[in-house]
Amino acid sequence: MNAVLAQADLRDQLVSWEWISRRYDQIWDAAVSHLWLTVFAVVVGFVISVPLAAVALRWRRTYAPIAWVTGFLYTIPSLALFAFLVPILGLGFATAQVALVSYTLLILIRNIVAGVDGVPASVKEAADGMGYSPLRRFVEVDLRLATPTIIAGVRIAAVTIVGLVTITSLVGEGGFGVFILDGLRRSFPTPVVLGVVLSVILAVAIDVALVLVERLLTPWARREVRR
């Protein structure tokens, strides 16, 4: 009787610290899994986006179809995408990543293209005139100078993915989303609040980390202009 009452009491509280304190290991595992799902999706998305952006920049006519296809992927509701993918890839990491990666592409490609377009034409012409090969110029000059815009895209993509990972818990890979799903199923607020708060903290932490990465990668932008 006491145990049942305690259980009911626990359910009525918004956050039960006792419930949380018994699950530190589980929370740590969820954090690692959430971070891993996010980083994997953004890195794979970036690796796919760079060559696609390069193609779009080199052959301008391909930009519209590339933007159209990735834009289409971006607009598919995630639940609908899972319904489509689960019969093919089953429940698990692959399905989750296909969905997550496809959401990063539009953001990343757009920012890479915009960033490279923003590199002054005179700098590109000088690089060509000095004898850079096209590939070397793209990597060492174009992408390098587009870093601020590209990182801005990575930040948006990463924060978006942190949010989406909570939904991939539906296919069994959810990081903090597992808590949210669990809490919703049992009408038990503590895991829901926990999942939401930790997701937000992770998103902010990744965003701050990327700002620091940008500062490290663009030492020239920090120097004060002295004339």
Partner 1 sequence: MTDPTVAAGDRSSAIRLVGVEKRFPRAPAPAVDDLNLDIAEGKLVVFVGPSGCGKTTTLKMINRLIEPTAGEIHVLGREIRSIKTSELRRQIGYVIQQIGLFPHKTIADNIATVPKLLRWDKRRIADRVNELVELVGLDPSMLRRYPAELSGGQQQRVGVARALAADPPILLMDEPYSAVDPIVRAHLQDELLALQHRVRKTIVLVTHDIDEAIKLGEEVVIFATGGVVAQHGPPAELLANPASPFVESFLGEERGLKRLSLLRVSDLDLQPGLVVDADADPSTAVQVMKSHGSDWIGVVEGDRLLGWTWLRSLEGCTRVGDAPLDYFRAQVAPDTPLRKVLDGIVNSHTRVAVVVDATDRYLGMITIDHLAEGIR
Which one of 118, 133, 211, 215 is in contact with partner 1 (CB under 8 A)?
Answer: 133
The reply on whether position 132 binds partner 1 by CB under 8 A is: yes
Contact 63, 81 (CB under 8 A): no
- With binding defined as CB under 8 A, does residue 60 bind partner 1? no
Closest approach, Cβ 137 to partner 1, in A, equals 10
Cβ neighbors of 54 (< 8 A, separation 6 or more) are 138
Q: Is 223 exposed, middle or buried (0-12, 13-18, 19+ CB in 10 A)?
A: exposed
Instruction: Tell me which stretch binds partner 1 (CB under 8 A): 17-25, 96-104, 195-203, 216-224.
Output: 216-224
Stretch that binds partner 1, among 1-9, 34-42, 127-135, 155-163 (CB under 8 A): 127-135
**Which residue shows structure tokens 């590939």?**
135
Size of the site for partner 1 (CB under 8 A): 23
Helix H, strand E, coil C: the string for 30-87 is HHHHHHHHHHHHHHHHHHHHHHHHHHHHHCHHHHHHHHHHHHHHHHCCHHHHHHHHHH
Q: Are 209 and 42 in contact (CB under 8 A)?
A: no
Q: Pick the closer one to partner 1 by CB: 7 or 133.
A: 133
Our finding on whether 213 is near partner 1 (CB under 8 A) is no
Q: How many CB atoms lie within 10 A of CB 30?
A: 23
- Which of 199, 118, 191, 109 minimizes the C-alpha distance to 163? 199
18 vs 128, which CB is nearer to partner 1?
128
The residue range among 50-58, 60-68, 99-107, 124-132 that interacts with partner 1, by the rule CB under 8 A, is: 124-132
CA distance 199 to 13: 21
Is residue 117 close enough to count as binding partner 1 by CB under 8 A?
no
Q: Does 128 sit near partner 1 (CB under 8 A)?
A: yes
Q: Which of 205, 191, 206, 203 is nearest to 27 (CA)?
A: 191
Residue from 43, 83, 126, 204 touching partner 1 (CB under 8 A): that is 126
Query: Is the CB of 78 or the CB of 147 nearer to partner 1?
Result: 147
Among residues 23, 27, 48, 144, the one that binds partner 1 under rule CB under 8 A? 144
Residues in the chain: 227
Q: Which of 1, 5, 131, 212 binds partner 1 (CB under 8 A)?
A: 131
Using the rule CB under 8 A, is 122 a contact of partner 1?
A: yes
Residue ranges in contact with partner 1 by CB under 8 A = 120, 122-133, 141, 144-145, 218, 220, 223-227
